[in-house]
């Protein structure tokens, strides 16, 4: 009997052990300095859908492993990724023991140095500030170079505007409906609170959205996902701000299921890198989570980020040659202080409630509701029947006089009063008015605030201000909601899907801020008379005061509903995915003023405009082996026009942009990827085509109207049917030369062009005021094969980094960028430029094809090389509490290279003879305007974790 009982127990033990199925792989992850376990670290088996996160004690395990020699990645935000080449033995558990993760200070550096740039030249309300922000959390070597090293030169991945990427917080898209771009300032300064991020490149699959062709960035603010602890940070720099202070506390998940995170920061500067650019920003963050049980958790997130900054002006070469690249015409002295006339002020708090539901072990549902409201304001000086206060106004500059031949009438004499002769013995003449203008501009290069106050207090005005400071203000209120499902249908198939809803009310108006010593301002347009001068015929001849709305006043409404499904298939040699999407977009304008020029088409609600769109994408990964992969992705989708382009002149009327259609987008890329413990590399070829896009801009132009005496018209230029093509290659390479030295190399080579001609229509208020159709068709824009502007089409980087075992490191990189082009004027590339309307269709004299090609040749900016150096060190300052202290510092553009980051042609001289005359003396009055990058800059950051 004893033998029978013993035998039975042994059999049962064997059965129990067999049923228990020991894991195939396990390990524990700790912090290198504190030796504390790290929770929510991601462990991933390369080229499979197997991914787990560490528990409270830092442990992880995999039940099975693929055949061969798989590669394991251990990664967590703020730490260097660890790579392990595995050699498992069948039937045995591979125990990696304790895995030590070292803090990656370069990630913090990257998060801190995303710069603010003026990358939308014609639209103050765009809210678009940084093209590199989308990449700040990425780990790929190429993406890091694009964000940190090339971002300072306004590099854009694959030449794409950031409206073709998607930035999300907890699955809610943060891209603005107005222009399709994320407003980075809405969470600026909250680096510690927005560290938990996932990034996908191009059209590759995301668990949260169908996406587009630039990629997706998901920011997760779930309180239980933050590592417990406290962090204090102090930084100094000479870029867009001077000082930054941050503090963050994360509680971790307690035994009652509560977790909370709070963070605050302040950034400020009396003056940034460019003259007169003040900066003030305050940011607050709070996230609270209640975990009810293993299936349900509720999280509330609140973000408030207020930002105010002074802008810098784009300048012509003439102005830069006189005043230098740091010169900014937007500011002037007032009471001993620098006052900028072009401030941008943002305060749009976000509140978000998220529900996490673990339906089964294989299916989760995440539902989010968000409400965002607040204001964006861009200030300017308004003036009526008074001189333009801009010191760079064209009539104030020497070029205005130099380009008038009749003023070259003052003979040049030597010190003895004798006439100066040229090489042919002819008397040399000078332009004394130009000389006087140069002297006056040098002596008075800034806005004269005191002169405007004096003009407003002139008794002859009867208390009426002739100068006033106002803001173009947008007050948005937006509700967003979505549900995202993730389900593992089988060992090889997973499903992602989501439904999203957005509803926006956007109030746009002109808000009077400062009467500058006067008592009131007149709500009229002084360029017109009678009813045409009235901003609102329902309340004519108003006297407006500080805080009043005037000029224009309207609402925009948008309703968007979209959904997607995505299936991912994972097998030993092949992975592939298929995704599809559908969206419905509805726009409408409501005029709150009855404008005098558009009396019958400005007040009340206009027609609704609806766009329906769809998308398909798919991709395939072929695993040559565990370390070498081939990856292919393809996408076709249509995209609704952004709201900004739907209304041709939204400030004044309800007109819908003519010939406006959905964009068609095609994208494809192919990559060869290597991932070994010492070498990580990716070589990608890509092709993107965006058809039927549109652009709207506003400017004064001469000789484009056909109203009698109309030589100077303020128009909105509507370009439709734009086709943009991007083709090129990307390379990112990282090699661990030794245990302490790492080399990186990145390259981007592209050709970003307009692949076909477009169409151009103008909306001219002057025509409408004279009873004509405000829309004038200029026909074809001959823009085919011109380069897309404002982005280096070639970029190269090489770097070395030394990381000492005693927690200090230093690195340097060299970057070369070239093939960046100016933004060309469309109106100059229509038949209007060369055809003389007074000759029945013949060209202007001298407007031959060679001459026209020469004068309209697109300007190419000079290439440049930037050298950056960065380093830092960290210490464990308490063995008992395991507190840490660290710092890092960087110097960018160490040789103080001057370079142009962008620019645009002015459209004022819209005909061939006018443009030739303006350029005759080599210093045009309406030459191109340029933006410049930072020279030598530094960043120093100190922090303590406890």
Who contacts 490 (Cβ-Cβ below 8 Å, separation ≥6)?
Answer: none
CA distances from 185 to 37, 280, 436, 556 (A): 34, 12, 44, 22
Determine the pLDDT at residue 195: 87
Q: For residues 635 and 665, is the Cβ–Cβ distance under 8 A?
A: yes
Residue 522 has a CB neighbour count (10 Å cut-off) of: 19
User: In whole angstroms, what is the distance from residue 181 CA to residue 168 CA?
Assistant: 11
User: In whole angstroms, what is the distance from residue 26 CA to residue 94 CA?
Assistant: 6
From the number of C-beta atoms within 10 Å of its C-beta (0-12, 13-18, 19+), residue 262 rates as middle
State the pairing for strand pair 42-45/71-75: antiparallel
Tell me which residue of 32, 57, 61, 31 sits closest to 45, measured CA to CA: 61
User: In whole angstroms, what is the distance from residue 430 CA to residue 928 CA?
Assistant: 25
User: In whole angstroms, what is the distance from residue 379 CA to residue 343 CA?
Assistant: 5
User: Which residues of the chain, if any, have pLDDT below 70?
Assistant: 1-22, 33-34, 47-49, 104-139, 705-712, 879-882
User: In whole angstroms, what is the distance from residue 587 CA to residue 646 CA?
Assistant: 8
Q: For the chain, percent helix, then strand, then coil, each to nearest 5?
A: 15, 50, 40
- What 8-state DSSP symbol labels residue 793? S
| pLDDT tens, position by position, 29-45 | 987 766 778 877 888 88
Tokens of 68: 């061969």
Spell 412-434 as b/e; 16+ CB within 10 A means b: eeeeeeeeeeeeeeeeeeebebb
From the number of C-beta atoms within 10 Å of its C-beta (0-12, 13-18, 19+), residue 463 rates as middle
Residue 513 has a CB neighbour count (10 Å cut-off) of: 17
User: In whole angstroms, what is the distance from residue 775 CA to residue 326 CA?
Assistant: 40
Spell 757-796 as b/e; 16+ CB within 10 A means b: bbbbbbbbbbbbbbeeebbbebeebbbeebbbbbbbbbbb
> In sequence order, what DSSP letters do the residues of 257-270 get, joined into one string?
SEEEEEEEEEEEES
Who contacts 838 (Cβ-Cβ below 8 Å, separation ≥6)?
Answer: none
Determine the pLDDT at residue 880: 67
User: In whole angstroms, what is the distance from residue 79 CA to residue 722 CA?
Assistant: 43
Phi, psi of 439 (to 5 degrees): -65, -40
- What 8-state DSSP symbol labels residue 842? P
Q: For residues 240 and 185, is the Cβ–Cβ distance under 8 A?
A: no
Cα 119 to chain centroid distance, Å, stands at 8
Strand partners, 519: none
- What 8-state DSSP symbol labels residue 287? E
Phi, psi of 850 (to 5 degrees): -60, -40
Q: Where are the beta strands (DSSP E) in 657-793?
A: 663-675, 679-702, 712-736, 741-754, 758-764, 775-781
Determine the pLDDT at residue 151: 86
> By three-state DSSP, how is residue 239 classified?
coil
Give the chain's length. 946
User: In whole angstroms, what is the distance from residue 337 CA to residue 616 CA?
Assistant: 56
Strand partners, 425: none
CA distances from 311 to 122, 187, 379, 470, 584 (A): 13, 20, 10, 15, 36
Strand partners, 864: 817
> By three-state DSSP, how is residue 932 classified?
strand
Who contacts 741 (Cβ-Cβ below 8 Å, separation ≥6)?
Answer: 800, 801, 802, 803
- What 8-state DSSP symbol labels residue 858? P
Q: For residues 688 and 667, is the Cβ–Cβ distance under 8 A?
A: yes
User: In whole angstroms, what is the distance from residue 390 CA to residue 451 CA?
Assistant: 12
From the number of C-beta atoms within 10 Å of its C-beta (0-12, 13-18, 19+), residue 805 rates as exposed
> By three-state DSSP, how is residue 106 classified?
helix
Residue whose entry in the numeric block shows the structure tokens 């999407």: 581
CB-hemisphere CA count at 13 Å for 561?
4
Determine the pLDDT at residue 705: 58
Who contacts 52 (Cβ-Cβ below 8 Å, separation ≥6)?
Answer: 42, 43, 60, 61, 62
User: In whole angstroms, what is the distance from residue 723 CA to residue 267 CA?
Assistant: 41
Cα 687 to chain centroid distance, Å, stands at 22
């Amino acid at each position: 009997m004893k033998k029978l009982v013993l035998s039975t127990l042994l059999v049962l033990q064997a059965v129990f052990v067999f049923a228990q199925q020991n894991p195939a792989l396990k390990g524990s992850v700790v912090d290198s300095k504190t030796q504390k376990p790290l929770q929510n670290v991601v462990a991933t088996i390369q080229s499979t859908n197997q991914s787990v996160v560490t528990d409270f004690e830092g442990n992880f395990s995999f039940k099975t492993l693929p055949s061969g020699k798989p590669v394991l990645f251990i990664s967590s935000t703020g730490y260097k990724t660890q790579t392990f080449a595995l050699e498992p033995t069948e039937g045995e558990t591979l125990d990696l023991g304790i895995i030590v993760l070292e803090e990656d200070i370069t990630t913090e550096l990257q998060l801190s140095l995303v710069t603010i740039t003026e990358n939308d030249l014609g639209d103050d309300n765009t809210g678009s500030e940084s093209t590199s922000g989308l990449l700040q959390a990425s780990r790929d070597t190429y993406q890091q170079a694009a964000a940190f090293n090339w971002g300072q030169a306004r590099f854009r991945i694959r030449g794409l505007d950031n409206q073709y990427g998607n930035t999300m917080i907890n699955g809610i898209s943060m891209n603005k409906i107005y222009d399709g771009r994320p407003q980075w300032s809405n969470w600026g300064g909250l680096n510690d609170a927005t560290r938990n991020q996932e990034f996908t490149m191009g059209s590759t699959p995301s668990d949260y959205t169908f996406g587009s062709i630039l990629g997706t960035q998901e920011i997760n603010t779930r309180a239980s996902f933050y590592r417990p602890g406290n962090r204090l940070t102090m930084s100094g720099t000479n870029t867009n701000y001077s000082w930054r202070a941050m503090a963050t506390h994360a509680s971790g998940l307690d035994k009652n299921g509560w977790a909370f995170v709070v963070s605050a920061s302040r950034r400020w500067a009396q003056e940034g890198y460019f003259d007169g650019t003040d900066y003030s920003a305050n940011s607050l963050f709070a996230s609270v989570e209640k975990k009810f049980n293993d299936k349900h958790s509720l999280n509330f997130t609140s973000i408030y980020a207020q930002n105010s900054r002074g802008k810098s002006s784009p300048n012509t070469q003439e102005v830069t040659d006189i005043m230098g690249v740091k010169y900014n015409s937007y500011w002037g002295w007032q009471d001993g202080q620098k006052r900028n006339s072009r401030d941008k002020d943002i305060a749009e708090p976000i509140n978000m409630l998220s529900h996490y539901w673990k339906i089964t072990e294989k299916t989760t549902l995440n539902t989010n509701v968000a409400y965002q409201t607040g204001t964006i304001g861009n200030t300017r000086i308004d003036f009526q029947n008074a001189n333009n206060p801009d010191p760079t106004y064209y009539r104030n500059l020497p070029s205005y006089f130099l380009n008038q031949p009749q003023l070259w009438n003052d003979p040049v004499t030597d010190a003895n009063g004798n006439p100066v002769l040229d090489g042919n013995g002819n008397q040399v003449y000078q332009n004394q008015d130009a000389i006087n203008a140069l002297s006056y501009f040098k002596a008075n290069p800034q806005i004269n605030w005191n002169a405007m106050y004096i003009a407003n207090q002139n008794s002859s005005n009867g208390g009426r201000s002739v100068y006033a400071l106002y803001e173009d203000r947008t007050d948005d209120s937006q509700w967003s909601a979505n549900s995202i499902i993730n389900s593992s249908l089988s060992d090889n198939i997973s499903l992602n899907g989501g439904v999203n809803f957005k509803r926006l009310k956007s109030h746009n108006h002109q808000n009077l801020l400062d009467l500058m010593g006067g008592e009131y301002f007149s709500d009229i347009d002084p360029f017109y008379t009678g009813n045409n001068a009235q901003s609102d015929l329902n309340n004519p001849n108003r006297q407006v005061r500080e805080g009043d709305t005037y000029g224009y006043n309207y609402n925009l409404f948008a309703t968007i509903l979209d959904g997607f499904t995505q299936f991912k298939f994972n097998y030993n040699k092949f992975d592939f995915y298929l995704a599809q999407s559908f969206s419905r977009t509805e726009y409408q304008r409501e005029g709150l003023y009855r404008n005098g020029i558009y009396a019958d088409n400005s007040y009340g609600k206009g027609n609704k405009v609806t766009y329906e769109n769809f998308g398909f994408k798919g991709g395939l990964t072929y695993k040559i082996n565990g370390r070498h992969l081939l990856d292919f992705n393809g996408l076709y989708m249509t995209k609704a026009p952004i709201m900004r382009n739907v209304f041709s002149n939204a400030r004044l009327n309800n007109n819908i942009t003519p010939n406006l259609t959905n964009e068609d987008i095609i994208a494809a890329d192919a990559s060869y990827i290597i991932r070994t413990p010492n070498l990580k590399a990716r070589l990608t070829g890509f092709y993107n085509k965006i058809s039927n896009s549109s652009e709207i801009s506003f400017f004064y132009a001469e000789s484009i109207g056909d109203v009698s005496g109309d030589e100077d018209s303020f128009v909105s230029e509507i370009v439709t049917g734009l086709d943009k093509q991007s083709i090129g290659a990307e390379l990112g390479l990282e090699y661990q030369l030794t245990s302490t030295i790492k080399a990186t190399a990145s390259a981007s080579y592209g050709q970003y062009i307009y692949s076909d001609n477009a169409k151009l229509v103008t909306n001219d208020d002057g025509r409408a005021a004279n009873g004509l159709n405000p829309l004038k068709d200029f026909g074809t824009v001959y823009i085919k094969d011109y380069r897309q502007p404002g982005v280096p089409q070639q970029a190269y980087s090489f770097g070395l980094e030394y990381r000492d075992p005693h927690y200090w490191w230093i690195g340097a990189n060299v970057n070369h960028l070239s093939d960046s082009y100016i933004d060309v004027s469309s109106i100059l590339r229509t038949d209007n430029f060369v055809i003389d309307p007074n000759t029945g269709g013949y060209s202007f004299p001298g407007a031959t094809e060679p001459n026209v090609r020469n004068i309209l040749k697109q300007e190419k900016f000079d290439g440049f090389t930037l050298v950056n150096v960065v380093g830092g060190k960290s210490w464990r300052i308490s063995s008992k509490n395991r507190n840490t202290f660290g710092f890092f510092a960087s110097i960018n553009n160490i040789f103080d290279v001057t370079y142009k980051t962008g620019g645009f042609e002015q459209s004022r001289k819209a005909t061939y003879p006018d443009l030739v005359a303006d350029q005759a003396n080599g210093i045009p009055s309406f030459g191109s305007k340029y933006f410049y990058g930072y020279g030598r800059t530094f960043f120093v950051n100190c922090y303590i974790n406890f």
